């Protein structure tokens, strides 16, 4: 049986592109963020929406690679792989970044749909001290966490007149 896997897919989908209880999904939120906000930060030390999207892509890719049993794939926390440098200078680049995010999410769906049952969820992720069920629930939590950050950045920048890459109060 694949009841747990199907529930995980449903949760991943609802949060990413569906209609979650709390409001907008990741993709709905990103569709409403103009590219001119996507690369700006509220303070110099913070991440932009585009950098957060790059970070989401990185961890979705990590999950997909681990689900494919790629033992060598890893991301070091706070490295350039964890937080890739993302510069969005045009609407086309912003759309491409969002397409890359959708592709990373789709790879997870494809892998999960190929699983014959839920038994893999209890298996340990190579190189980690947690199992696949924990990893996939972590991806769900990760999306929600960063969705909140994106919303905060958007709300702080959207109605402000900004003429540089950094919003200043």
Is residue 131 within 8 Å of 6, Cβ to Cβ? Answer: no
Inside any domain, residue 163: no
Residue 87, domain CATH = 1.20.120.450
Inside any domain, residue 151: yes
Task: Specify the number of domains making up the chain.
Answer: 1
Q: What is the number of other CB atoms lying within 10 angstroms of the CB of residue 71?
A: 11
For the segment 78-134, what is each residue's pLDDT rounded down to a tens digit? 999 999 999 899 999 999 999 999 999 999 999 999 999 999 999 999 999 999 999
Residue span of the structural domain in which 94 resides = 3-157
- Quick one: 56 exposed, middle or buried, by C-beta within 10 A (0-12, 13-18, 19+)? buried
Inside any domain, residue 143: yes
Question: Closest Cα to residue 106, out of 57, 151, 38?
Answer: 57
């Amino acid at each position: 049986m694949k009841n747990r896997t199907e529930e995980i897919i449903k949760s991943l989908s609802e949060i990413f592109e569906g209609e979650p209880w709390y409001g907008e999904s990741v993709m709905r939120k990103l569709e409403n963020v103009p590219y001119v906000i996507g690369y700006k930060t509220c303070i110099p030390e913070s991440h932009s929406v585009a950098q957060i999207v790059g970070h989401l892509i990185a961890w979705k890719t990590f999950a997909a690679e681990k689900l494919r049993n790629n033992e060598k794939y890893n991301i070091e926390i706070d490295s350039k792989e964890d937080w890739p440098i993302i510069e969005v200078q045009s609407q086309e680049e912003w759309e491409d970044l969002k397409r890359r995010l959708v592709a990373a999410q789709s790879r997870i769906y494809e892998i999960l749909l190929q699983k014959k049952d839920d038994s893999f969820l209890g298996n340990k992720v190579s190189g980690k001290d947690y199992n696949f069920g924990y990893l996939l629930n972590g991806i769900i939590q990760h999306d929600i966490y960063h969705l909140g950050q994106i919303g905060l950045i958007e709300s702080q920048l959207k109605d402000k007149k900004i003429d540089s890459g950094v919003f200043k109060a």
